[in-house]
Amino acid sequence: MDVQDLKPPKPLYLERVGFRGVRRRALLETPEGPVTLDLELDVFVDLDRSKRGVHLSRNIEAVEAVVSERRARSIEGLLRSIAKELLSRHGYAEKATVRARTRYYIDLEAAGVKGREPVDVAVTVSLTRSGGERWRVTVSVKGMTVCPSAQSTIAEAEGISDPSRAPSHSQKVLLKGTVDTGKVMVRIEDLARALLQSFSAPTFTLLKKPQEARLILEAFTRPMFVEDVVREAAWRIAAIPYIPGEALLQVEAVSLESIHPHDLVAMLRSRVSEVRSLASRRV
């Protein structure tokens, strides 16, 4: 009998045992064509109180079997296959959890500017032997905001009738949205676009002078507090029609303040159904 199969001296259940930070390159056969992604994987199973340890090599074998031999159509599909392989190889486990962190690219357009822009992605899939599934998708993006308070104050002080023509301070904002659902996976592209549309303006890797001017001018017509950004993002995510009402939603923004030595943070947690109910009342 392997040492791992012996009874532990302290018979306590462990929710997760496995590896963190396993790096692999995966090829996805997406509807848009082949996509190669560099993934950082966390690979876990639970452990019953009657067993001392997990046969950890099986975690890597499960990853290799899926990444090297199969072609998934999405990140989430790849992770689900790894989780199923984990349950197959660990007959004593009741739950498998796989998380991937990577960088994805989204087609974006704003103020007449087009670009293929990077977003940071974290996807977690949890499967249970009884058939339970849980999906968690987090997308992190960058954008800019224009301060409405300073803009309004300067417009009034300078007698500028159109506040959008008044100067203000602007800042970069780091925005992160997470949706946690059962059996329904939120598409990374949908979540990313909802977030990217929630700033005064998004950011672009490449801007020529005329494009830069248009983007800034448009941003000044849409001044936003960081609180506005979080609420707008939650509103737009809740408007994605296929997300179930029971899904858990979290949005967090960090504003890298330009005129203060500190940063500003706003965060919201809610069920999607709660946001939708407010939207329907507003209509």
Answer whether residue 187 shows pLDDT above 70.
Answer: yes
d(CA 121, CA 130) in angstroms, rounded, equals: 28
Q: What number is the average pLDDT over the span 107-133? A: 94
pLDDT band at 158 (very low <50, low <70, confident <90, very high): very high
Share of the chain above pLDDT 90, in %: 86
d(CA 178, CA 191) in angstroms, rounded, equals: 8
pTM of the model: 0.91
DSSP state of 36: E
Write the pLDDT tens digit of every residue in 195-251: 999 999 999 999 999 999 999 999 999 999 999 999 999 999 999 999 999 999 999
Strand partners, 171: 145
Answer whether residue 183 shows pLDDT above 80.
Answer: no
Numbered ranges of CATH 3.10.270.10 in the chain: 1-93, 102-283
**Tokens, residue 197:** 């549309």
Say if residues 237 and 274 touch (Cβ distance below 8 Å): no
Write the pLDDT tens digit of every residue in 84-97: 999 999 999 999 99
Name the CATH topology of 102-283. Urate Oxidase (3.10.270)
Architecture of the domain made up of 1-93: Roll (3.10)
Please give the pLDDT value at position 220: 96
